[in-house]
């Protein structure tokens, strides 16, 4: 008998031990992002940007203790979905963030927000989540997917180009990109080409492009595809005669170094750059370089802003996550200094912000990086906000 009792006592003690930390901890944040395989550079930058804000706050966001659980989705929707389920059901996270890719976001976000957990997107901004499928618990701190392409469409039109060749991979974000470009581009399309996702060799496309004699080229090829295209385009000798334009995704710090001079001088659109002059951005860029020994990319800036947005809302509610509508209201206000300066949320919880044109140049240290050469949009909002009913 006594043995049974001691067993029961021991069991209770063990359960107590297991349960204890959960009560003692602060707000739980689940981060699912891509840390291995293709495209891991983006996820690593988002994570590092997010963690930098945490370090600056001494392990707190907005003065509130937070625990961040980080997991690698390896760019697989099914993996991301499984991790998300576990984070929502077992870890009982309050807020989630981190996903890089739109197809993963579409697999994860609706379930998460339906379960009453907040999701702050540091990157992926598929049109569905900005429009018909928008949710009161979903916030995007980066952009809606089309925004940077729209800016390039406007810029190319402003610069007087009238016959543009456009190119993107054959997948949803690719057709969204070209649709976004065409929404603001007023000239003629010299050719519209969809390439295979993950394609390495663009010789056939470049030959066809030369034959079409466009006056400019707009391309959206994220990651390694962009490096391949930039190198091959430069080798074909076309870069001097037909200028290239693209969104920032093909010109971030992870691409400029391997692409080398092939990227030099190219124009690209971005909502952020290291040279945007405000106190938050100066501190971010300096601290990021000091902490990680490399330049921050726009992905890092988005991870950083995601953490600081969450921090501002946690501060407003004093770390109390029991009143969800108070926290939601605090997020909506976005009372934090964004590293990109001008920032607020539209009715669909997506940014209303300025979008710039940058140019790739070689700085005085001999490194390739971007500088802002102009502003295309002021207070730009996405085209889907009108479809969103919360």
Partner 1 sequence: MTALLVLEQLLNGLQLGVMLFLLAAGLTLVFGIMDMINLAHGSLYMVGAFVAATVAEYTGSFMLGLLAALPAAALVGMAVELIALRTLYERNHLDQVLATFGLILFFNELVRIVWGPRAIFMDVPEALSGTVEIVPGAPYPAFRLAIIAAGIAVALFLYFLITRTRIGMLIRAGASNREMVGALGVDVKLLFTLVFGLGAALAGLAGAMAGPLFAVEVGMGEGVLILTFVVIVIGGIGSVRGALVGALLVGLVDTLGRAFLPTLLRLVVEPATADGVGASLSSMSIYLLMVAVLVWRPRGLFPAHG
Chain residues in the site for partner 1 (CB under 8 A): 36-38, 40-41, 44, 170, 192-196, 198, 200-201, 203-205, 207-208, 210-211, 223-225, 227-228, 231-232, 235-237, 254-255, 257-261
Nearer to partner 1, 98 or 351 (CB): 98
Count of Cβ atoms closer than 10 Å to residue 252 Cβ: 24
CB of 326 to partner 1, least distance (A): 39
Give the C-alpha separation, 364 to 196, whole Å. 38
Q: CB–CB of 252/266 below 8 Å?
A: no
Give the C-alpha separation, 10 to 21, whole Å. 18
Nearer to partner 1, 146 or 252 (CB): 252
Angle in degrees, 0-180, between the axes of helices 298-317 and 324-333, rounded to the nearest 10: 130
Nearer to partner 1, 115 or 197 (CB): 197
Give the C-alpha separation, 34 to 36, whole Å. 6
Q: Where are the beta strands (DSSP E) in the chain?
A: 27-33, 60-61, 64-72, 95-97, 118-121, 138-140, 163-169, 188-195, 216-219, 244-247, 267-270, 343-345, 351-362, 368-380
Q: CB–CB of 372/357 below 8 Å?
A: yes
CB of 171 to partner 1, least distance (A): 10
Nearer to partner 1, 6 or 170 (CB): 170
Count of Cβ atoms closer than 10 Å to residue 216 Cβ: 21
Nearer to partner 1, 116 or 198 (CB): 198
Nearer to partner 1, 12 or 170 (CB): 170
SS3 12: helix
Nearer to partner 1, 25 or 201 (CB): 201
CB of 22 to partner 1, least distance (A): 33
CB of 18 to partner 1, least distance (A): 33
Q: CB–CB of 202/221 below 8 Å?
A: no
CB of 3 to partner 1, least distance (A): 47
Give the C-alpha separation, 265 to 262, whole Å. 9
CB of 202 to partner 1, least distance (A): 9
First to last CA, the chain: 59
Among 268, 233, 276, 265, residue whose Cα is nearest residue 252? 268
Nearer to partner 1, 39 or 243 (CB): 39
CB of 212 to partner 1, least distance (A): 10
CB of 134 to partner 1, least distance (A): 27
């Amino acid at each position: 008998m006594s043995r049974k009792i001691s067993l029961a006592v021991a069991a209770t003690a063990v359960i107590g031990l297991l349960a204890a930390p959960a009560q003692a901890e602060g707000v739980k944040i689940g981060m699912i992002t891509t840390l291995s395989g293709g495209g891991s550079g983006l996820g690593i930058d988002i994570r590092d940007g997010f963690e930098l804000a945490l370090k600056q706050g001494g392990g707190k966001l907005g003065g509130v203790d937070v625990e961040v659980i980080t997991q690698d989705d390896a760019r697989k929707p099914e993996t991301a979905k499984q991790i998300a389920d576990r984070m929502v059901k077992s870890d009982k996270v309050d807020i989630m963030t981190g996903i890089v890719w739109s197809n993963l976001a579409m697999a994860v976000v609706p379930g998460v927000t339906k379960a009453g957990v907040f999701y702050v997107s540091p990157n992926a901004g598929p049109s569905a989540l900005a429009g018909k499928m928008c949710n009161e618990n979903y916030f995007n701190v980066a952009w809606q997917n089309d925004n940077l392409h729209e800016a390039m469409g406007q810029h190319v039109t402003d610069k007087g180009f009238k016959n543009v060749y456009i190119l993107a991979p054959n997948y949803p974000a690719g057709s969204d990109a070209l649709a976004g470009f065409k929404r603001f581009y007023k000239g003629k399309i010299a050719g519209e080409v969809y390439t295979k996702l993950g394609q390495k060799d663009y010789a056939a496309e470049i030959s066809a492009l030369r034959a079409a004699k466009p006056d400019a080229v707009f391309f959206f090829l994220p990651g390694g595809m962009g490096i391949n295209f930039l190198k091959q385009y430069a080798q074909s000798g076309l870069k001097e005669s037909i200028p290239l334009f693209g969104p920032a995704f093909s010109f971030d710090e992870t691409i400029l170094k391997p692409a080398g001079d092939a990227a030099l001088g190219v124009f690209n659109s971005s909502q952020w750059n290291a040279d945007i002059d405000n106190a938050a951005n100066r501190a971010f860029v300096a601290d990021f370089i000091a902490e990680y020994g490399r330049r921050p990319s726009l992905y890092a800036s988005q991870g950083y802003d995601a953490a600081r947005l969450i921090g501002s809302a946690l501060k407003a509610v004093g770390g109390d996550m029991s009143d969800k509508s108070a926290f939601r209201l605090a997020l909506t206000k976005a009372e934090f200094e964004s590293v990109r300066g001008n920032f607020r949320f539209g009715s669909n919880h997506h940014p209303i912000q300025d979008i710039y044109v940058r140019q790739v140049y070689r700085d005085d240290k001999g490194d390739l990086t971007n500088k802002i050469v102009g502003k295309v949009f002021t207070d730009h909002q996405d085209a889907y906000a009108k479809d969103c009913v919360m």
